[in-house]
Structure 1
């Protein structure tokens, strides 16, 4: 039996409403709770995030070493180029060079408040052997 009922990834930021809007679009989520200092969202698959107001929030500096990574999110996508265009259109930004093609291609980004996250291309299934 689990000790907890659910987990929520919580990001501290200066403007929780704006950051919730970014992730709501990114994940196709919906708001499930709003208070003066916190906004919570839930994705269609049940993934939950919350954004907590912290006027003194300082984003991580990743990929630079000072104040480094602290933590990051990873999202799996089918089309990295399409996802990147969408993220940039929502106000996110790339933070490192693109990897070459491969089964585990990844790209780093930050959300509008500076929190890092990675897009990882879903592994391409191997073609069935012929003959």
Structure 2
């Protein structure tokens, strides 16, 4: 049994408020803060934070022989087609949509700051 509890996940980015607003549109919740550090309080009690890093170099995808992806978020969805249309309209860009002829249950995107994240079909 561990002795600590995860408090939040923080993402470096050039514009913290903009990235927090992107994830708020995707996940819900409320954005608080300005400047170098912005928090997104999610409806289920979790929290994402966004920290200013002007010289951020987004990770490469896939990262087999380049910089590591460092971190990615898996976001569970019921309808991957609908979710894809929504995240792209919010500024995400597709990195890997090859779903192996419909057999794969996830797709990979980059958020507006370049961090990879996956939309994953939630198992019933």
- The two structures have a TM-score, normalised by structure 2, of 0.88
Instruction: Structure 1: state its 5+ residue gaps.
Output: 125-131
Equivalenced residues, count? 122
Mark the structure with the bigger radius of gyration: 1
Contact 2:13 2:113 in 1 (8 A): yes
Please, which runs of 5 or more residues in structure 2 have no aligned partner?
none
CA RMSD of aligned residues (A): 1.8
| Aligned pairs (5 A) from 1:1-131 | 3-4=3-4, 6-31=6-31, 33-64=32-63, 65-99=65-99, 100-102=101-103, 105-124=105-124
Tell me how far 1:101 sits from its aligned partner: 2.9
**3-state DSSP of counterpart to 2:39:** strand
Contact 1:98 1:106 in 2 (8 A): no
8 Å Cα contact 1:40/1:49 also seen in 2: yes
Give every structure 1 segment of 4 or more consecutive aligned residues whose post-TM-superposition deviation is greater than 2 Å.
Answer: 1-6
